[in-house]
Structure 1
Amino acid sequence: MEIQSIGPPNEFLSIDGPASVRVIDGRLYVLGAEYGPGSSFTVMRGRRIIAKSLSECKIEAVLGPEGKIETVNGANEVIDIWDKALSTIRLRNSTVVVMGAMDVGKTTVTTILVNKGVKEGLKVGGVIDGDPGGQNDIGPPTTISASIATGFITHLTQLRNLRSIFVKTTSIEHVWDYVLNSMTKMVNELWRNYNVDAVVINTDGWISEENAIKFKLELARRTGANHAVVIKRGDESTDLIKELMKIAVNVITIPSPPPNARVRDRDDRKIRREMGYSKYLMPSRELNVNLREKPIVNLPLFNGLRYDNYITRLIRRSLNMAIHYIEQWRGGAAVAIGNVKEFQIRNIGGVNIAILPMNWERGGLLVALEDRDNYLLSLGVLRKIYYNTGKAVISVPKTFINEGLVDHIRLGMIRVNDNYEEVEKVLYINRIESLLSSQNILESSN
């Protein structure tokens, strides 16, 4: 424990977590909130925040390993610039979307906006964590999640997860239309059913490609965003800003933090996700699921027509491969488990057949157990499918108790090993869904 005096006003502190800070005397500005005598806040491990004294202060700090507090040059910080720009936003009855590239401070800006709303006495809801592959501060990796703020926070992880939607992967570029529909659905429900006063949406760092810009523009449109806060670093977001200016949204551009701020590379993000899987799924238990009663919605096995032995033999000869299992869906498509090394689609007599490799489901494919409204009940890991009985074995957290609410299973596109390390992106799940959609077989997710 250490006691530190800060002053005069407008002195800046860099605080690296883990740290617990209590204000003994004076006032301190931290991420849009003001802390006076007797109040306290925490900084999580691996996080850094910048605080500013509003008067001469005295603080008490408890630092963990790697925790650190030091005075920094305020001229190099963006606190005042951000605070002035964000203070122009009228939060009540507004939807604010925060955009920018990776590691430019989107989560920090989201936190500031939340605290500003709480300071005004607002019910700041729909704090949407829309980055399934980055930080996933509210829900588990591969999901978008929402919460409602009830007090000041220093990081979104302090918020309780209210709702999550499984988006199958950590790479939005593969599923951006699905993510768009899901985020729109979540925002609409929060306004309609939770009586929030404001919605703040924290987005992913995919902004430069043509589809990324389309995604962000459509997100602003569909969620009815009043304000778009874009954190600008170099030219990364220039095209996005130009396009946002063309639609009915107030665009607020702010600079990115100085380059000495902590930056997480792709490996670090991957490690954080893997820790997230492990934290969420461990300890686990095995759950037996009847797929005829609780089907896989994006690969509807055991809900079609089984071919008789004669037709199956004809198909085997036409495909020139051993077929372990095959069934036909309505609409002129079929699924088969065959002796192939990689997923493929073949056409026989006008019937498209999706052929999966033997034991495709083994090796730790992430799945979601969802309710009838397609909200996440639990993540799981698919272990085995028994084709003779139509049963599946799925590893779920031991704490999962809502089996009765499970309406269906949704396959993900991430394969993890026994240590919950990501080992493969199973992109052919998208191809299966495209085939199902073309045959009007895939149900709408929202």
Structure 2
Amino acid sequence: MKLLTIRTRITLWYTLFMIGLVTAILGIIVEFTDMSILNNQKHELIKVVEDAAEDIEDGDDFDFYDDGVYLLKYNIQLEYIEGSIPDKFPISFPLELGRVQSMKKDGEIFYIYDKKIKDKYDNIFWIRGVIPNIQMMQLSKIIIGAAFVLLPVLVILSSLIGYFITKKAFLPVKKIQETAQKISEGNNLYMRIGLSDGKDEISMLGKTVDNMLEKLEQSFEKEKQFTSDVSHELRTPIAVIMAESEYVLQHGTSFEEAIESMESINYQVNKMSVLINQLLFFSRAEQGKIQLNYEKTDILQLMEEIIKDIKFTAESKKIAVNMISKLTVHEYYVDKMLFSRAVQNVLQNAIIHGKENGCVTIEIYEKNSYIAIKIKDNGIGISKENLNKIWDRFYQVDQSRTSQENGSMGLGLSMVKWIIEKHKGYTEVESTLGAGSTFTLFFPIKI
């Protein structure tokens, strides 16, 4: 059975079910027909005897055989006088008034009805009606014979109908299987099953598989882009390191030149270290290895430490960083490390993409059940069509300014998004191209 296809198995079970159902129905029909014929024959037996008795009472003639009923006449002493006698029927069988009797003789069954009458001369007689069940048996044989002829026809017909029904019903399943096979053979994740809309289980399965393929394709494309971007980001510093080290080894003639090359190598190594740490962060995050560690934290003190850490970068671009606090309480429960990383990433972005002699304003306040960290700059801004892309890994708004120049590798905001979502918070972004951006990070207040 396991070697058969599902369609064949369903057809087989359907056929077996139909055989059982048809057999049961035909059995009921045969039984019901026998009972119906018997009741009709008994009714006919009584009717013929009553009619004959009425004829005798009126002095009319009657036939001793009428509609399959044999009529026999007995005198008052219960002796047979005349009539038509069925084959094998014993004429001495006891008479009984007003009840249909049955008796079996040599394998044949007879049904008997007796009536006591008085003719117009006041002579008392008995009229007996006898009907053999051979007629009923012949009719039953005809019905059973027809049933045995009809049964195979119905079984074959039901099997064919079941096969075509299951074939049609499994066409979507076949389409799903063929699509999956083509994807497996050709790695074409862009293919879709494309079943018509419907509320049945197979249509819903098709939609679910299509949605799964859509997500797989997106993940695959992101993975390809991710691999390409990582390769690009690593290739540049490695190329610089190799070039600087080769230059020093082959052409370095002074300590100053060696120092200059080592500074360049150190910068690139630090960049690679940052990239690798960020990639490790995402790897651990996707594997569920990063868990939040909420601790009571002085938010204002932590913010001052974050601003102090980026002070050198801000001063190098002559960007002023100002903080305004509207908090009535300073201590909140957050994951201190992840909170710092999220805020610092947004703040660094504001400085990297800010204009020289510009400013960055940090505003801290409570909104509903959240702590809000609003970071506003007057930098290059972001166009509306790019706002939904800024959270993608390795995406950089200003493609003309490379990571080599500004140190950004397009992973900071992706990390921010993950941290905020992990905290069950949310973000808001407002930006005008050429005028600056405002990022607001909302962390839920934990009690």
TM-score tier by shorter-chain length is under 0.3
Return the structure number with greater strand share: 1
Greater relative contact order (Cα < 8 A, sep 6+): 1
Return the structure number with greater helix share: 2
- Tell me the TM-score normalised to structure 1 length: 0.22
- Tell me the TM-score normalised to structure 2 length: 0.22
